[in-house]
Amino acid sequence: MTARIIDGKAFAADIRGRVAEQVVALKADHGITPGLAVVLVGEDPASQVYVRSKGRMTVEVGMNSYSHRLDAGTSQQELLALIEDLNRDPAVHGILVQLPLPDHLDESLVINAIAPEKDVDGFHISNVGRLATGQKAMVPCTPLGCLMMLRDHHGSLSGLDAVVVGRSNIVGKPMAQLLLRDSCTVTIAHSRTRDLPAVCRRADILVAAVGRPEMIPGDWVKEGATVIDVGINRIPAPERGEGKTRLVGDVDFASAVERAGAITPVPGGVGPMTIACLLANTLTACCRENGLPEPEGLTA
């Protein structure tokens, strides 16, 4: 079997288009413009790239973008004071603090200072608990994007065997919660899992989120399974010339594509969905804040 390639780039563009339409309607009908504040502390080059893209796409869908760049030496107190201001600001519906933070800042303390209803990353302890207990929550963007692609491909996920490889708070754990909510039988596998190949081979849905380049070969994939590759790993590519690199996922695409029923590529799979879902979450937060119906098809 050769897999259907799930086009995350096109899917994300469609989501952004639907968000943009609803932003137009919110403005026209209610005079409201959703606003997203992004806070970056320090000069981490990868974070700078992400934050720039987030700002650009926020504006492209018609929302207000508020960018706060603080220098690497910013104190915890200063950062918490900024978050307090943003929590109180009625023009700000979503707040994102780009991670990782410099070492002297306490990440959990900072994240938990964000008002849960503005926590568009879904990392606040209250949103984590709400997701786990089936209450209305803000859901982390990357797993939300994966869920949307899975629902689009399968329709119902009920009863399917799902294996999530990786147990991070940002992807693995919330992904497992979302799959459980959609009535999958869920296994979370990780570095200490015994016989990982056999565990993966059970999966109708295999989500790889470990951050290790091409660690899952095609022969760990069940024939016809859906493979969602969350990994974005940069590796040397001497075949492209000296010093060149390329992006690969956590799955060995070339062998997995021969066995899977559907698979997300890297790049162009899960990656573009993350920012699209951030914008969807900002729209959701804005609708909830104003007592309006939630945008259809853009939430978990």
Active site residues: 54, 98, 121
Look at the block and give the residue holding tokens 């399968």: 154
- Stretch in the footprint of ligand GUN (CB under 6 A) among 82-90, 96-104, 184-192, 235-243: 96-104
Residue 99 interacts with ligand GUN (CB under 6 A): yes or no: yes
Among 141, 184, 189, 256, binds ligand GUN (CB under 6 A): 141
Burial 186-222 (b: 16+ CB within 10 A, else e): bbbbeeebeebeebbbebbbbbbbbeebbbbebebbb
Q: Select the residue whose beta carbon is closest to ligand GUN and give its number.
A: 99
Q: Which stretch binds ligand GUN (CB under 6 A): 90-98, 154-162, 201-209, 230-238?
A: 90-98
Q: Which uninterrupted H or E stretch holds 263?
A: strand 262-263
Q: What angle do CA 231, 233, 234 make, to 5 degrees?
A: 160
Least Cα distance to 34 among 277, 283, 297 occurs for: 283
Structure tokens at 86: 């943003």
To ligand GUN, the closest distance from the beta carbon of 41 in angstroms equals 11
When asked if residue 121 is in the footprint of ligand GUN (CB under 6 A), the reply is yes
Shortest distance, CB of residue 263 to ligand GUN, whole angstroms?
A: 22
Closest distance to ligand GUN from the beta carbon of 60 (Å): 19
The yes or no reply on residue 177 touching ligand GUN (CB under 6 A) is: no
Backbone φ and ψ for 249, nearest 5 degrees, come out as: -90, -165
Could you please report the per-residue DSSP string of 177-192? HHHHHTT-EEEEE-TT
Phi, then psi, of 160 in degrees rounded to 5: -75, 150
Phi and psi of 136, rounded to 5°? -60, 125
By CB under 6 A, tell whether 37 contacts ligand GUN.
Answer: no
39 is a contact residue toward ligand GUN (CB under 6 A): no
The verdict on 101 binding ligand GUN (CB under 6 A) reads no
- Does 20 sit near ligand GUN (CB under 6 A)? no
List the one residue from 22, 58, 74, 98 that touches ligand GUN (CB under 6 A): 98
Q: Of 36 and 256, which has the nearer Cβ to ligand GUN?
A: 36
- Structural tokens at position 110: 């900072």
State the amino acid at position 92 in one-letter form: V
Distance CA 295, CA 290 (A): 13
Mark the segment that binds ligand GUN (CB under 6 A) among 92-100, 102-110, 178-186, 195-203.
Answer: 92-100
Nearest residue to 179 (alpha-carbon basis) of 193, 164, 169: 164
96 binds ligand GUN (CB under 6 A): yes
Footprint on this chain of ligand GUN (rule: CB under 6 A): 96-99, 121, 141-142, 170
